[in-house]
Structure formats: structure tokens, C-alpha cells
Amino acid sequence: MASVVAKTSRRQPKTRLRGARGARDAREPRVRLDVDERRAQLVELGLTHFGERAYDDVSIDAIADAAGISKGLLYHYFPTKRAYYAATVKEAASRLVASTDTDDSAPPLERLHAGLDAYLGYVKAHAKAYATLMRSGVGVDPEIARIVDETRATFIDRLTSGFGQGLMPALDSPIARLALRGWVGFAEAASLGWVESIAEGLPAPSQREVRELLASTLMEIVRSTAASLLPSTPT
């Protein structure tokens, strides 16, 4: 114990640069929260921070500071930064999925339109975060990739279910699944381009036009794929 570390002298008091940003301002009374509350708070902070800056540009210190807690506590809830990021992405994905849920008693085409409209509305409402996540989301970690891929699969299931029951078997072939996955890429790229055009003040199509573009493209893909696989089916 007595072996004072003293190395040289480095490790100064760090000048305490916590601005008025964090919660613990004056006397810093230790705030004790319930596990779920704290976790929810941290995920919420993750959503805003990772939605504004890229992964590398968000430091654990910044998060802890904004939450008014120590860095160590964050590691009590998430084992690594990547796991924390994964939890954030997971939350964003589940909110997206939830907010684009549609009435499954409605006719398929109506559901498709409603779902796409909800999607585009969500994208527009969270434009910056959507763009940031889409441009830097995956790739940080296989776990993140898994979450994103599962979310995409959820959308594909939702959009194609009830959608021409007779076509379902055909939509399970390798080429059809590739086509559907491609369409998701289409939708994401188009949505991203759309909100970026808006953000930059460029002339951009209306939401209705974009929705029609996505819907008609999907239907065309489904139609032509099914036709090529079931040539006996009447067009």
C-alpha cells in the first residue's frame, strides 16, 4: 500500500471540466437509481449521442458525464462500449419496428401503404439519427450486424405476409429472398437519399411519391420474381 505510485507526476486532477452538461452540478450528491431506470436512461442517452455523432466520436466519458455518473458505473451495466452501442441500436430498431406496425386485418395493399408511410414518417422525424445510424451503424460489431439483419427480416416478413398467399412458396426461393433483401436495400438507400435531399434544401419528392416508388418497386419485384419461378401462373 505504502508504495505511492508517484510514477513521475502525470495523472493530474484532470481539471474537472464537467460543464453544466451533467446532472451532478454543485455538491454532487450521489444519485441512486433503480437498475432498470439507470439502464433506460443510459440507452436514451445512447440514442441521442450515437444519433448525432459516429461511434468513434462518442466517448464513454462523454456519456457518463452527460448522465452525471462515473465511467465505472456504465461498465456495471454494459460490459463493453460495443455492447452498449448494440443495446442502443437494438432499442432504436425495436422502436422503429413498433412505430411502423400496422393493422393486420386490413387488406394487404393497404397495409403495405400504411407500413411504408409509417416508415417514411419515422425516417423523416428522426432524419439525422437515421442517417447517422445507417451510415455508421453496422460494421462496428457482428452483434450489431445481427440486430440490423433481424430487423430487416422482420420488415420483409411483415410486408410479404398475407400478400398474395399463393406466392409465398415462390418467395422462399434463394433468388426471391435475394430480391427481397435487395428491395430492403433499395428502400433504405432511397429513404436516406430522400431525407438528405430535404436536409440539404434540394428539391425532393413528396412523401407520397417516395412511398409510391417503394411500393411499386416492391410489387414489381414480387410479380416478376414469382412469374419467373411459376411460369404457369397467369399474370
Partner DNA sequence: ACCGTCTATTGACTGACGTTCAATAGCCCC
Partner DNA sequence: GGGGCTATTGAACGTCAGTCAATAGACGGT
Which of these segments, 34-42, 108-116, 135-143, 213-221, binds DNA (CB under 7 A)? 34-42
Q: Which does 68 bind (CB under 5 to 8 A by kind): DNA, a second copy, none?
A: DNA
Query: In terms of CB distance, is 39 or 82 closer to a second copy?
Result: 82
| CA-to-CA dists, residue 17 to 20, 63, 82, angstroms | 9, 14, 26
Rounded Cα gap, residues 142 and 215, in angstroms: 31
Q: C-alpha grid cell for residue 121?
A: 414518417
The residues that touch a second copy, with contacts defined as CB under 8 A, are: 7, 10, 54-56, 132, 135-141, 145, 174-175, 177-179, 181-190, 192-194, 197, 202-205, 209-210, 213-214, 216-217, 220-221, 224-225
Q: Which does 201 bind (CB under 5 to 8 A by kind): a second copy, DNA, none?
A: none
The four Cα atoms 155, 153, 132, 189 give a dihedral, to 10 degrees, of -70
Residues between 206 and 235 with contacts to DNA, criterion CB under 7 A: none
Three-class DSSP labels, 2-33:
CCCCCCCCCCCCHHHCCCCCCCCCCCCCCCCC
Q: Is 27 in the site for DNA (CB under 7 A)?
A: no
Rounded Cα gap, residues 61 and 52, in angstroms: 16
Q: Which does 97 bind (CB under 5 to 8 A by kind): DNA, a second copy, none?
A: none
Q: Tally the C-alpha atoms within 13 A of residue 18's C-alpha that lie toward its C-beta.
A: 18
Rounded Cα gap, residues 115 and 95, in angstroms: 14
| Interface with DNA: number of residues (CB under 7 A) | 33
Q: Is 154 in the site for DNA (CB under 7 A)?
A: no
- Indicate which single residue of 2, 5, 20, 202 sits in contact with DNA (rule: CB under 7 A): 5
Query: In terms of CB distance, is 37 or 233 closer to a second copy?
Result: 233
Q: Is 73 in the site for DNA (CB under 7 A)?
A: yes
Q: What are phi and psi of 34, to 5 degrees?
A: -70, 150
Q: C-alpha grid cell for residue 43?
A: 440507452
Binding site for DNA (CB under 7 A): 3, 5, 7, 10-11, 13-14, 24, 28-35, 38, 58-61, 68-73, 75-76, 79-82
